């Protein structure tokens, strides 16, 4: 029997994770769940949104299902910390970023695959005025630990940092700017991590029959970091003669998103660009209610919907949010551990409920979302789960 660390987090994270476990149980997945502490409450009470006891559990059991957390800006974080801990050097950091770094979960996979019949699917107008609904089947590989999100940044940088930067001739244009008026966020990319994410993308393409891998970067401007990734992609691609390597620039790719999204198979990018491109593609397949992800390291793996805690819906009872992103993340976990039949069974039930179109959460009805959603015909979170369970 597998042991899964269940990380509910905040807001709707708690709701969708509970529903996912209900679905996994109903599907016959034999597992033991250990609920672990993570998120805003633990920052406020303990000054740590990712307590060591939670890290220890994930270290030991290796698999985690994660809902979502709430992060707030620095000032709000300081204000909500319990009085007795204030001024004692506690600083808030995002627990999900912390998890990725702690366990080197450097491979982030975000599939964006349309479900037939989803009313939120992207449609495109044709020349003759009719519409077509291209089926999107794109899987984004996002480098998850480095790049612009590595956290190497300063406001009012210390002298040694400023001096080091001044050694680059391009810093001349900033030479008259006082230190207190400078903020610096770095984009550090390493060969090793680039190799890993690019190879993971090609391996996935090979295993799942995709014919192209696109490196989505900006090497014409970010000559060092994107340039290095492009060079590595060219090298790695030689080992996969049946898979074409395409390279696109992140800005152009976002523009092309609505032009020919069905052409893209696997896409690989640095942390921030992968974040951007995966949200872009998620928009074509139904948005945050459908966007699932896996964070994989060599030893641990954490599966989570890409949405956040949606605070504006957290107090709605019954909950109205769409649990499918969380369910598909659980499906990714089943695939990862080799429970392919169970994964298929759940995926097929979800697909059936969507295609049948009788049960839709508020987002699928294109409603604004609120306490009146149910009276306007939306299904609650639980009703959606029940419908999927009934199709198992
Ligand atoms: P969010 O993803 O929580 O919500 C944005 C909007 O998307 C919501 O208002 C809602 O309209 C929609 N939405 C999200 N999940 C949905 C679902 N399952 N079903 C239907 N609609 C859904 O992002 P937001 O509002 O920017 O951030 C809220 C909090 O979540 C912040 O504290 C943020 O830091 C945190 N966050 C956490 C993430 C994580 O835990 N991985 C990721 C993104 C944000
Ligand atoms: Mg994002």
| 168: phi then psi, degrees, rounded to nearest 5 | -90, 125
Each residue's pLDDT tens digit, 7-53: 999 999 999 999 999 999 999 999 999 999 999 999 999 999 999 99
- How many C-beta atoms lie closer than 10 Å to residue 286's C-beta? 24
Write down the domain spans for the chain: 1-108+296-392, 122-151+187-284, 152-185
pLDDT above 90: residue 302: yes
Give distance in angstroms: CA of 312 to centre of ligand 1.
Answer: 9
* 167 within 8 A of 294, measured Cβ to Cβ: no
Q: Compute, in angstroms, the gap from residue 279 CA to the centroid of ligand 2.
A: 6
The CA 381 to ligand 2 mean position distance, Å, reads: 22
Read off the DSSP letter of residue 84.
Answer: G
Neighbours of 58 (CB within 10 A): 25
Q: Ligand 1 centroid to 324 CA: how many Å?
A: 14
Domains 1-108+296-392 and 122-151+187-284 share a fold: yes
Q: Which residue has the tokens 């509910």?
A: 8
Q: Which residues fall inside 5 Å of ion ligand 2, going by CB?
A: 275
Residue 270: the pLDDT is 98
- Straight-line distance from the first to the last Cα atom of the chain, in angstroms, rounded to the nearest whole number: 21
On average, the pLDDT of the chain sits at: 97
Strands 31-35 and 2-9 come out as parallel
- Ligand with smallest separation from the Cα of 67: 1
Q: Which ligand does the CA of 291 lie closest to?
A: 1
Ligand 1 pocket mutation, candidates 308, 323, 380, criterion most atoms within 8 A of CB: 308
Report how far residue 25's alpha carbon sits from residue 30's, in angstroms, rounded to the nearest whole number: 7
Ligand closest to Cα of 49 equals 1
CB 288 within 8 Å of CB 278: no
Does residue 230 sit in helix, strand or coil?
A: helix
Closest residue CA from atom 6 of ligand 1: 310
> What is the mean predicted confidence (pLDDT) over 270-283?
97
Question: What would the mean pLDDT of 45-63 be, rounded to a whole number?
Answer: 98
Q: Does domain 122-151+187-284 have CATH number 3.40.718.10?
A: yes
Q: What is the spatial distance between Cα 232 and Cα 141, in angstroms, rounded to a whole number?
A: 15
Our answer on whether the CB atom of 39 is closer than 6 Å to any ligand 1 atom is no
Q: Which ligand is nearest to the CA of 77?
A: 1
Whether 381 lines ligand 1, by a CB cut-off of 6 Å, is no
Rounded to the nearest whole angstrom, what is the distance from the C-alpha of residue 175 to the centroid of ligand 2? 34
Look at the domain 1-108+296-392 and name its fold.
Isopropylmalate Dehydrogenase (3.40.718)
Averaged over 311-328, what is the pLDDT? 96
* pLDDT value at residue 101: 87
> Considering only CA atoms, which of 12, 77, 19, 20 is closest in space to residue 49?
77
Place of tokens 């495109």: 124
For residue 151, pLDDT beyond 90: no
| Ligand 1 atom 8 nearest Cα | 310
Cα-to-centroid distance, 308 and ligand 1 (Å): 3
Whole-model pTM: value is 0.96
72 to 40, 41, 77, 151, 185: CA distances (angstroms):
9, 12, 6, 16, 19
Ligand 1 within 6 A of 68 CB?
Answer: yes
Q: What is the DSSP string of 115-170?
A: PTT-TTS--EE-TTS-EE-PPPEEEEEEE-SSBTTS--EEES--HHHHHHHHTSGG
pLDDT over 90 at 74, yes or no? no
Pocket test for ligand 1, best of 93, 274, 288 (most atoms within 8 A of CB): 288
């Amino acid at each position: 029997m597998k042991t899964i660390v269940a990380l509910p987090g905040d807001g709707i994270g708690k709701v969708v994770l509970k529903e996912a476990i209900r679905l996994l149980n109903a599907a016959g997945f034999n597992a033991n769940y250990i609920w672990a502490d993570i998120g805003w409450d633990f920052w406020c009470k303990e000054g740590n949104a990712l307590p060591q006891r939670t890290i220890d559990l994930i270290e030991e059991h290796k698999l985690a299902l994660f809902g979502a957390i709430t992060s707030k800006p620095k000032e709000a974080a300081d204000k909500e910390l319990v009085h007795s801990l204030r001024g004692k050097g506690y600083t808030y950091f995002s627990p999900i970023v912390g998890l990725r770094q702690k366990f080197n979960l450097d491979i982030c996979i975000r599939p964006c695959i349309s479900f037939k019949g989803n009313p939120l699917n992207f449609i495109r107008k044709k020349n003759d005025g009719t519409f077509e609904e291209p089926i999107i089947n794109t899987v984004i590989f996002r480098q998850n630990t480095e790049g612009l999100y590595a956290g190497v940044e300063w406001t009012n940088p210390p002298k040694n940092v400023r001096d080091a930067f001044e050694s680059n001739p391009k810093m001349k244009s900033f030479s008259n700017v006082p230190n207190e008026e400078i903020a610096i966020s770095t984009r550090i990319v390493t060969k090793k991590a680039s190799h890993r994410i690019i190879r993971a993308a090609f391996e996935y393409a090979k295993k799942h029959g995709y014919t192209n891998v696109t490196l989505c970067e900006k090497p014409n401007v970010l000559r060092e970091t994107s340039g290095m990734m492009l060079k590595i992609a060219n090298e790695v691609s030689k080992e996969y003669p049946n898979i074409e390597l395409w390279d696109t620039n992140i800005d152009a790719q976002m523009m092309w998103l609505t032009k020919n999204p069905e052409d893209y198979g696997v896409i690989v990018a640095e942390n921030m660009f992968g974040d951007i491109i995966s949200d872009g593609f998620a928009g074509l397949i139904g948005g945050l209610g459908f966007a699932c992800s896996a964070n994989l390291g060599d030893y641990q793996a954490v599966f989570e919907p890409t949405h956040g805690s949606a605070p504006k819906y957290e107090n709605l009872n019954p909950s109205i949010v769409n649990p499918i992103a969380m369910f598909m993340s659980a499906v990714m976990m089943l695939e990862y551990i080799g429970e392919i039949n169970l994964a298929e069974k759940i995926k097929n039930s979800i697909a059936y409920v969507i295609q049948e179109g009788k049960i839709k959460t508020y987002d699928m009805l294109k409603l604004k979302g609120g306490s009146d959603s149910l009276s306007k015909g939306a299904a609650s979170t639980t009703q959606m789960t029940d419908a999927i369970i009934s199709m198992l």
